[in-house]
Structure 1
Amino acid sequence: MRKQVTIIGSGIVGAVTAYYLSADPTLTVTMYDDGIGQATKNAAGIISPWLSKRRNQRWYRLAKAGAALYPQIVADTQLGVSVYQQCGTIVTRRTAADVEALYQLAQERRQAAPQIGTITKLSAQAVQDRIPLLTTADPGIFISGGARVDGERFAHHLLKYAEKRNLVRHKGKVRLGDQGQLLTPNGQQQYDTLILAVGAWLKPLLLPMKLVADVRPQKGQLIEFDLPQSWSDDVPVLMPEGERDFIPFTRSKLVVGATHENDQGYDLQVSSLVEKDLFASASQLDRDLQYSQISRVKVGTRAYTRDFAPFFGPLPDNPHILVASGLGSSGLTTGPMIGKLLADYVQTGQQTDWDQYQLPIETYLQPGD
């Protein structure tokens, strides 16, 4: 008899978990999601963790592993370059000394992470030559292993792939009972394993079970431009000093952002002030942009923990319920590896080397009243 695995949440973690589990003929995989405020759906990211200055080595190992997983998934599912492309990343600094320090850091990190690829110093003019949209630029370095990904389309692609194998999806909001019962719009549903990949909504979801998750919501907004000109698929993405990320997608789509807005709760309203701020940042790099060329504003809710680190795995007192949250603004980088590790656990019951990626899950889950 097949075991029933139910996943709540269709973002990056849920989609990758479903992708791996749907290949297992001994499982029936079901997913629920209402799609409201999802961080993945409202994200377009740069996959380039190697130059991060975070001191959290567990996070860095997880981010490295997630970045390394993308090419394998892309090849296995025949994902197109409009969704994911290893186009390289340019990181700029304003002074020659800072560029040199960045270059040395990249060389050092490359020893343990060959996925960085080639590392090249660039003058300001060379940066502009590689990203024709720019009208002004600072010098920096180029790393060929960097990539861009459209979070919404990536998750959608994996879920469609999984549906062709062994995934059934339902749209709707679910709740948990005090003993972990799964309460859906169609009544209580049974499961052998339940995976809660709901990001910032984990805290309210677990409250009926008298568990308090160390998770707070953070609002993020970005803007998309639909421009009259087009460019090649291999134009790099830009992480400029002092400005928002500048991400040219294929053909004529430009993404700029995203913001990090605390104390906004689960607000999903577009802020005109934030939209103007994002446009001003983009205009510092491309003075030819017009406000009227903004085609879309995306708003999502990220999940953060007190120490800005993600956590995942089975509940301390219930190995049949797994959780994942706290991915923050690097969710598109760390999420794939978390999804794979959760899928591996469902199939093997083992948490092999998980301590290299996170603190004990009890760090982030406390008994409530």
Structure 2
Amino acid sequence: MSTYTIVGGGIVGASIGYHLVKAGHTVTLYDRADSGQATAASAGIIAPWISQKRNKDWYRLVTAGAKYYPEFVKKIETETGVSTGYKQEGVLSLFKDDTVLEKGFKRIHSKKENAPEMGEVYKVSREDVKKMHPHLTDLYPGVYVEGGGQIEGASLLKALKAGFLHHGGRWINEDFNSSKTEGLLIYASGAWAVEQGYAPKIRHQRSEVFHFEVDEAEKVTDTPVVMALGPIYLVELGANKYAIGTTHTETESFSTEPSRENYDYLRGLAQRYFPGSNIRDISMMVGLKPFARDYMPYIGYAEENVFIVNGLGSTGLTASPVLGREIVKFLNGEETELDFGDYSYI
């Protein structure tokens, strides 16, 4: 067995660490717990088949992630007793009219042949949208995908850390310097990769999410994730509680102070999708999401003893568990389901 040092205790670093120690390796993970970790402001939507992105390498990664989730969650929750908050209530993708709905249905349904984990896929009338999600507007029809799910990022990270420690990993909450390296060094440092200086260049976006409560007498739970018009989503956080997002602003700043402009924008959208309801603020969440060239993650060696995993952006929660599994296979010299040559482009 081998020795590894991981820098970065976000979802991907924790997942790699968990899968490594579970495979019998010796692992030390360093994490500074920086404010703005992308996990904190992620809705955790597991429904890659809805996306209109055409990058095949990206799609293979995220669909592998979605397929692995039920098995992975069952194992880690059994091992640790920690809930990840994973739910499969499906995903409801809204469309502005019936013509666009037909096109969207054909596009999404066509993916089912190669992804049976999607489950049932069917069109939903405006009236039935209201039945599925009683507080939601009935202005738009939708397509429902049964296999869609959601995960609570903070809860998943807690479970991964518990699993990592359970299998003998060392988690150190302090800054890392190269004199502390033992074995292969794995950088999974997200937006803070700028401090290491390795290629590819990692940039980041501020992502803001508005958490709110709908003040209604009827308490609604177990609603599907809603992919609204444009790059907007609605995720249930509990009875009558939701998150709506997200904004993306490229920046060099590491500030996590919410902006008034984005608050007004997201609160206005919340009122649009829950018309007639009294919206009560809960909080604004800000995360710093890393991305690399062409918005594709980079996974590969930077030099002989340095391995980089970064640039996952908004797909980190979907892809990180399966990446942990596959990277361990790769480092062990075993056959992998993912071809890491697709993600090692430097």
TM-score (norm 2): 0.91
User: Deviation of residue 248 (structure 1)?
Assistant: 1.0
Matched, 1:355 2:346: no
Q: What is the percentage of aligned positions where both structures have the same residue?
A: 28
In structure 2, the residue matched to 1:331 is 316
Structure 1 unaligned residues grouped into runs of 5+: 176-181, 183-187, 363-369
- Which deviations, in whole Å up to 9, do the C-alpha atoms of 1:129-177 show, x marking residues without a partner? 10122144400110001011111211111111221221221112224xx
The answer to whether the Cα contact below 8 Å between 1:238 and 1:245 also exists between their aligned partners in 2 is: yes
Change (3 A) 1:351 1:221: farther
Q: Which of 252, 256, 264 pairs up with 1:268?
A: 256
- Asked if 2 retains the 8 angstrom alpha-carbon contact of 1:87 and 1:237, the reply is yes
Unaligned stretches of 5+ in structure 2? none
TM-score (norm 1): 0.86
Counterpart AA for 1:155: L
Q: Which SS does the other structure have where 2:309 is aligned?
A: strand
- Structure 1 residue 321, shift from structure 2 partner: 1.8
Greater strand content: 1
Assess, with a 3 A threshold, how the Cα gap between structure 1 residues 108 and 161 changes in structure 2: closer, same or farther: same
Identify which of 252, 259, 271 aligns with 2:247.
259
Conserved 8 A contact 2:300-2:344: no
Question: Corresponding residue for 2:40?
Answer: 41
Instruction: Show the counterpart of 1:366.
Output: none
Match of 1:225 in 2: 212
C-alpha distance in structure 1 between counterparts of 2:13 and 2:139, whole Å: 38
Measured in 1, the distance between the counterparts of 2:2 and 2:149 equals: 37
Alignment partner of 1:287: what SS? coil
Partner of 2:135: 133
User: Is the 1:244–1:278 Cα contact (8 Å) retained in structure 2?
Assistant: no
Question: How far does residue 356 in structure 1 lie from its aligned partner after superposition?
Answer: 6.7
2:30 paired residue number: 32
Superposed displacement of residue 264, structure 1? 5.0
- The Cα shift of 1:350 comes to 4.8
CA offsets 1:245-280 (integer angstroms, 9 cap, x no match): 111133343111121112353221111221111111
Aligned equivalents of 2:262, 2:174: Cα separation in 1: 30
Residue 52 in 1 paired to residue 65 in 2?
no
Q: Which residue of 2 aligns with 1:304?
A: 291
Q: Which residue pairs with 1:189 in the alignment?
A: 180
Structure 1 contact 220–301 (Cα < 8 Å) conserved: yes
For the residues of structure 2 that align with 1:138 and 1:82, how far apart are their CA atoms?
Answer: 31
Alignment of 1:57-206 (within 5 A): 57-78=56-77, 83-175=85-177, 182=178, 188-205=179-196
Cα 1:225–1:341 change in 2 (3 A) is: same
Query: Which stretches of structure 1, 4 residues or more, deviate above 6 A after TM superposition?
Result: 79-82
Equivalent pairs, count: 340
The code of the aligned residue for 2:307 comes to: L
> Which letter does structure 2 place at the counterpart of 1:29?
V
Q: Mark the CA change 1:264 to 1:128 in structure 2 (over 3 Å): closer, same or farther.
A: farther
Q: Which amino acid aligns with 2:271?
A: S
Pick closer, same or farther for the CA change 1:35–1:288 going to 2, 3 Å. Answer: farther
